[in-house]
Amino acid sequence: MRLTQGAFSFLPDLTDTQISAQIEFALAQGWAVSIETTDDPHPRNTYWDMWGMPMFDLKDAAGVMMELKAARTALPERYIRINAFDSTRGWETVRLAFIAHRPPVEARFALDRVEAEGRVQRYALRRVPA
Amino acid sequence: MTVMEKPTAKMDAKKRYSAGVLKYAQMGYWDGDYVPKATDLQALFRITPQEGVDPIEAAAAVAGESSTATWTVVWTDRLTACDSYRAKAFKVEPVPNQPGQYFCWVAYDLVLFEEGSIANLTASIIGNVFSFKPLKAARLEDMYFPPAYVKTFKGPPTGIVVERERLDKFGRPLLGATIKPKLGLSGKNYGRVVYEGLAGGLDFTKDDENINSQQFMHWRDRFLYCMEGVMRATAATGETKGHYLNITAGTMEEMYRRAQFAREMGSVIVMVDLVIGWTAIQSMAEWCRANDMILHMHRAGHGTYTRQKNHGVSFRVIAKWLRLAGVDHLHTGTAVGKLEGDPMTVQGYYNVCRETKNAVDLQRGLFFEQDWCDLRKVMPVASGGIHAGQMHQLLHLFGDDVVMQFGGGTIGHPMGIQAGAIANRVAMETMVLARNEGRDIMAEGPEILRDAAKWCKPLEAALTTWGNVTFDYASTDTSDYVPTPVAS
């Protein structure tokens, strides 16, 4: 299964040149870029592990690309995403997020069901072995 | 003396309150020198007075009929601080290039309005005045709300920021589709379309405005099958998905029942139609706030009063009322699709939904600066006759914070519903990527789509099927202001 979280999951995996261009775009908006990784991409897993702090004062995409390469080398079995955070009043949230690295074997989920009253199903997403 | 003789200056109190009929301007509803107070609400009306009716008197009548006036003098006015309760028309200008039409500005004291009630606001501002005989037609073009009034409303229960955080989707428009045919499918068949669309790549699918609980599909059945589709698609993609479950019903009790069931089933979003009315909308906003639910608003029925330029209420005013009342999604037009909407005017609605503060922008129909006092932002929805081939135009016009809904443009895809969803998602992601890379998508858009179609068969088929479809008709609701050419 191809995990379709993030802004560009329906495109072929982005090349480093493409990733770098998106980071340049984010920095040009004044957004702070950060890198996060996980081995649990459950859609409710909000808090992926931070690969260092958001790079608030960074001006050049090359710095992020260096960190991205380091993260890939250290954690090739994990998902790695790039976030761009906007601290403008009224936003104060992530404005762009996309997956920049996928594990060799992607996550899969199964749907658990529990019968409840009146034909109701209680659903839960469960990670299954690849 | 007739009501509509030329107005004269104000009169002394004894004469003013003698029994009889006076001109509205004489009664104190016109004051050309009035400067609105910081706490006043303001309304801009477009009026078409009957033949022979003075525009200032007509403007005063609008102010009078939307505040304290009745048709004759009443001595009981003198038991009140009556001047402060009178709305004041303070400016009248001919509408550019529209003979017989005038813009009139009216200011209202804050005391006239109950806190946090759109029903109360609208009962004043549009209560009587639109039927007033001395006017051939009247239209409420725009309104200004002072911070003191805005702060009496809670606004959208979720808003763009929190919706995106809940869904974990950033940096691109959201994609939706309305299930078609909109009437007649059984619950089981309907849920199939939900599943196919979401598994293919949509973020949301949607009930249409008139899907409630008919004989062919009762609401409970629909909710069960739709949530089966939503959850299966979530498991298949690892991405949060939703279906706007329309909870519109004949009574509040029934709407709450349906909302509660949607919540129990794990839906992230419910939907209501504009026709349920202002109080019902505010009640559902309260419920959504208490239950962590996104509230989708379909503007069903608005065209009856928003479309014609000479009479009714502009949709920008409806959008302002809805941001105060508290909805999270609002259908605001596509500009390029099958439904009414000139691009600049539609952008004006988007700005009302999304900006922290609106600047005066006459070309987009915004007559007032408006501070939204940190009320959450409403996610606009572009829906109706749009397709993947227009992606560059849609992204250029509306940016990232919009739900693009391709109903026929998903479900009518020659290779099936999932292929339709893939085509739309690929078109959207490829266009966002290109725009962020600094490419001029309005010039290069068609080429960017064709390049993506080389590796994406569903997109290729979509472009072949719909690439040339446009709805190129003149809009009826356009700005009266054109850019002034500057000397070079």
pLDDT tens-digit readout, B425-439: 999 999 999 999 999
Q: What is the pLDDT of residues B6-31, one digit of tens each?
A: 554 567 788 778 777 778 888 889 99
Q: Is the pLDDT of residue B359 over 50?
A: yes
Q: Which residues of B touch A91 (CB under 8 A)?
A: 161
With respect to residue A120, please indicate whether it lies within any of the assigned structural domains: yes
CB B25 within 8 A of CB B5: no
Would you say B384 and B332 are in contact if contact means Cβ atoms under 8 Å apart? no
The total number of structural domains that make up chain A: 1
Structure confidence by residue, pLDDT tens digits, B227-240 = 999 999 999 999 99
Chain B CB within 8 Å of residue A114 CB? no
Angle between helices B252-264 and B278-290 (to 10 degrees): 30
Using the Cβ of B373 and the Cβ atoms of chain A, whether some distance falls under 8 Å is answered with: no
pLDDT tens digits for range B152-178? 999 999 999 999 999 999 999 999 999
Give the H or E element holding residue A74: helix A61-74
Q: Which residue has the tokens 């960017």?
A: B448
Inspect the interface and report whether the beta carbons of B433 and A97 lie closer than 8 Å: no
For residue A20, give its domain range: 16-128
| Cβ pair A11:B433 closer than 8 A | yes
Q: How many other C-beta atoms can be found within 10 angstroms of the C-beta atom of residue A44?
A: 9
Per DSSP, the residues of A14-72 read PPHHHHHHHHHHHHHTTPEEEEEEES---TT---PEESSS-BTT---HHHHHHHHHHHH
Predicted pLDDT of residue B472: 62
B387 touches chain A (CB under 8 A): no
Q: Is the pLDDT of residue B483 over 80?
A: no
Is A1 a member of any domain?
no
Q: How far is CA B437 from the centre of its chain?
A: 32
Q: Which residues pair with B102 in a beta bridge?
A: B47, B94
Establish if A47 belongs to a structural domain.
Answer: yes
Q: Does A100 touch chain B (CB under 8 A)?
A: no
Active site residue B396: no
A103 in helix, strand or coil?
A: coil
Query: CA nearest B234: which of A112, A26, A111?
Result: A111
Task: Using a CB–CB cutoff of 8 Å, tell me whether B165 touches chain A.
Answer: yes
The whole-number average pLDDT for the span B339-349 is 86
Q: How confident is the model at residue B488 (pLDDT cuts 50, 70, 90)?
A: very low
- Predicted local confidence at residue B9, as pLDDT: 56
Q: Per-residue pLDDT for B134 more than 70?
A: yes
Residue with more model confidence, B30 or B488: B30
- Paired strand residues for B246: B271
The model's confidence at residue B447, banded by pLDDT at 50, 70 and 90, is very high
Catalytic residue among B206, B298, B392, B413: B298
pLDDT in tens, B250-298: 999 999 999 999 999 999 999 999 999 999 999 999 999 999 999 999 9
* Selection from B202, B214, B192 nearest residue B241 by Cα: B202
Contacts of B455 in chain A (CB under 8 A): 12
Of B297, B15, B345, B262, the closest CA to residue B158 belongs to B297
Please report the pLDDT score of residue A92 as a whole number.
Answer: 97
| Confidence bin at B3 (pLDDT 50/70/90) | very low
Distance between CA B238 and CA A109 in Å, rounded? 7
Q: What is the pLDDT along chain A (130 residues), one digit of tens a residue?
A: 899 999 999 999 999 999 999 999 999 999 999 999 999 999 999 999 999 999 998 999 999 999 999 999 999 999 999 999 999 999 999 999 999 999 999 999 999 999 999 999 999 999 998 7
Task: Tell me the CB-side half-sphere exposure of residue B137, using CA atoms within 13 A.
Answer: 15
Dig out the tokens for B25 from the structure.
């301007």
Q: Do B239 and A107 touch (CB under 8 A)?
A: no
What string of H, E and C letters represents the secondary structure of chain B?
CCCCCCCCCCCCHHHHCCCCCCCCHHHHHECCCCCCCCCCEEEEEEEEECCCCCHHHHHHHHHHHCCCCCCCCCHHHHHCCHHHHCCEEEEEEECCCCCCCEEEEEEECHHHCCCCCHHHHHHHHCCCHHHCCCEEEEEEEEEECCHHHHCCCCCCCCHHHHHHHHHCCCCCCEEEEECCCCCCCCHHHHHHHHHHHHHHCCCEEECCCCCCCECCECHHHHHHHHHHHHHHHHHHHCCCCEEEEECCCCCHHHHHHHHHHHHHCCCCEEEEEHHHCHHHHHHHHHHHHHCCCEEEEECCCCHHHHCCCCCEECHHHHHHHHHHHCCCEEECCCCCCCCCCCHHHHHHHHHHHHCCEECCEHHHCECCCEECCCCCCCEEEEECCCCHHHHHHHHHHHCCCCEEECCHHHHCCCCCHHHHHHHHHHHHHHHHHHHHCCCCHHHHHHHHHHHHHHHCHHHHHHHHHHCCCCCCCCCCCCCCCCCCCCCC
Residue B238 has its nearest CB partner, among A93, A107, A119, at: A107
Please name which of B287, B279, B233, B239 lies closest in space to residue B262, comparing C-alpha atoms. B287
Tell me how far apart the alpha carbons of residues A52 and A55 are, in angstroms, rounded to a whole number: 8
Reduced to 3 states (helix: H, G, I; strand: E, B; else coil), residue A119 is: helix
Percent of chain B at pLDDT > 70 equals 95
Q: Which of A7, A12, A43 sits opposite B238 (nearest CB)?
A: A43
Contact present, B166 and B198 (Cβ < 8 Å): no
Q: Is residue A83 part of a domain?
A: yes
| pLDDT for position B202 | 98
Three-point CA angle B201, B212, B173, nearest 5°: 25
Please judge whether A25 and B437 are an interchain contact, meaning their C-beta atoms are less than 8 angstroms apart: yes
A121 contacts B227? CB cut-off 8 A: yes
> Quick one: CA dihedral B190, B195, B197, B198, positive or negative?
positive
- What's the CA gap between B437 and B452, in Å, rounded? 15
Cα B441 to Cα B448: distance, rounded to the nearest angstrom: 8
- Would you state the pLDDT for residue B2? 44
Confidence of residue B72 (pLDDT cuts 50, 70, 90): confident
Contact assessment for residue A93 and residue A87, using Cβ atoms and an 8 Å cutoff: no
Of A3, A96, A120, the CB nearest to B238: A3
Residue B479 pLDDT > 90, yes or no? Answer: no
- A51 in a domain, yes or no? yes
Nearest CA in chain B to A114: B265
Q: What is the mean pLDDT of chain B?
A: 92
Nearest to A95 among B170, B201, B265 (CB): B170
The region of weakest confidence among B67-71, B223-227, B265-269, B310-314 is: B67-71
Cβ pairs bridging A and B (under 8 Å): 108
Distance CA B58, CA B41 (A): 20
Locate B133 and state its tokens. 């005989």
* pLDDT beyond 70 at B339: no
DSSP secondary structure code for residue A77 in this structure: T
Residue A8: DSSP 8-state: T
Which is catalytic among the residues B169, B180, B182, B396? B180
Q: pLDDT of B171-195, one tens digit each?
A: 999 999 999 998 999 999 999 999 9
Band of residue B342 on the pLDDT scale cut at 50, 70, 90: confident
Helix (H) or strand (E) run with residue A114 in it: strand A108-115
CATH number, domain of A116, equals 3.30.190.10
B169, B170, B356 ranked by CB distance to A89: nearest: B356
Flag whether A77 is in a domain.
yes
Q: Is the pLDDT of residue B4 over 60?
A: no
Annotation says B392 is catalytic: no
ipTM of the complex: 0.97
pLDDT exceeds 60 at position B487: no
Q: Which of B325, B384, B394, B313 is nearest to B353 (CA)?
A: B325
> Closest chain A residue to B223 measured between Cα atoms?
A120
- Residue A2 covered by a domain: no
β-pairing, B88-94 vs B102-108, is antiparallel
Instruction: Classify burial at B277, counting beta carbons within 10 Å of its beta carbon; exposed 0-12, middle 13-18, buried 19 or more.
Output: middle
Give a yes or no: residue A9 inside a domain: no
Tell me which of B163, B225, B231 to substitute to probe the interface with A (most A C-beta atoms closer than 10 Å).
B231
Report which of A2, A86, A71, A3 is spatially closest to residue A37, judged by C-alpha positions.
A71
